Amino acid sequence: MKHYLISFVTVVLLAASCAGWQGKIESGLDYAHEAGVAIREAGAPLLNQKCKEAAYSCVERGITDPADCTTYVDCVRVRSVIAKSLIALQQAIMDGKTALAIDDAGSAEAATARALELVYLIRKQLMEHGVL
Amino acid sequence: MATVLMIIEKALPYASALVKFLSLAVKAGNSSVSKEDIEQEIAAIRSWVEDAEMQEADIFARASSDDG
């Protein structure tokens, strides 16, 4: 009787702990997704404005080839890096979701850590360029 | 007593499945981000950059044609 009870309690505890890590990972991925969307919504218009200003500034100085407009080229490069990082963030979230669906705790944790690190890095990059 | 033990023994696999099902139901109730949300966001990021680059290319193109 004792043996069966211990087995039952063990199964319940294992399932409960499993649900625990899944919930934690899930909320981490949700947070990363919301942060990514918020960063794009706030950062995109500001980055576009910067690039547009750089383009107009060059045009006013008679530079009509975008490749010759270094301020514009730099701005486009920063925007491209941010966009690529934001896509990488969403892909990390997708990886985390996939790992969660197959109960792969290690991969889910690694994907969540990568997503959260990307949120931090993107924010840092935007602040360094005076966007956020 | 033997009957109780037999019932518990048979119920063990179902108990774990039940707990798992309940945890998934709780997760679904929390409505976390879906695969579609992620795909939508990736599309939004791509269109943001493409639209902006098109508008900026237009600024240079107009200036270039004004020069000509």
- Please tell me which residue, B27 or A118, carries the higher pLDDT value: A118
d(CA B8, CA A53): 73
Nearest CA-CA distance, residue B20 and chain A, Å: 6
pLDDT score for B68: 61
**Structural tokens at position B32:** 């976390």
pLDDT score for B30: 55
Which distant-in-sequence residues (6+ apart) come within 8 Å of A54 by Cβ? A69, A71, A72, A74, A75
- At residue B29 the predicted structure's pLDDT band, cuts being 50, 70 and 90, is very low
> Is the predicted ipTM greater than 0.85, yes or no?
no
Q: Is this structure's pTM higher than 0.80?
A: no
Q: Could you give the C-alpha distances from A89 to A129, B25, B30, in angstroms and in order?
A: 19, 27, 22
Residues 19-58 of B with CB under 8 A from A: 19-20, 22-23, 26-27, 30, 32-33, 35, 37-38, 41-42, 44-46, 48-49, 52-53, 55-57
d(CA A19, CA A13): 10
pLDDT score for A91: 98
- Share the mean pLDDT of chain A: 90
Does the beta carbon of A121 lie under 8 angstroms from any beta carbon of chain B? no
Which chain B residue has its CA at the smallest distance from A19's CA? B23
Could you report the per-residue pLDDT of B30-64, keeping only the tens digit for each? 558 999 999 999 999 999 999 999 999 999 999 98
pLDDT score for A22: 86
- Residue B21 predicted with pLDDT over 80: no
